Amino acid sequence: MELDKDYKDILKEAVEEIRTARTNIARQVNAAAIGVYWNLGKLLFKRKIVKTHGRQIQG
């Protein structure tokens, strides 16, 4: 039946659209996370906190 074929084609396209969107979203989230960690590393390096990592801070 033609209607069944049309439905299957539309469903196939919809699923592919969702998969593509999920992939793009995952890439954007990963890029943002990498950016955050990169900037945090730069901040720690600039403030020389790297040397005290793991030590107990006495005050």
Residue 55 pLDDT: 64
Residue 31 pLDDT: 98
Residue 20 pLDDT: 98
Contact criterion met (CB below 8 Å) for 44 and 50: yes
- The DSSP output letter for 58 is -
Query: What confidence tens digit (pLDDT) does each residue in 10-57 have?
Result: 999 999 999 999 999 999 999 999 999 999 999 988 887 655 556 666
**Nearest Cα to 40, choosing from 31, 49, 28?**
49
Residue 56 pLDDT: 67
Q: In this structure, how many other beta carbons lie within 10 angstroms of the beta carbon of residue 53? A: 7
Contact criterion met (CB below 8 Å) for 26 and 20: no
Q: Please say if the pLDDT value at position 7 is more than 90.
A: yes
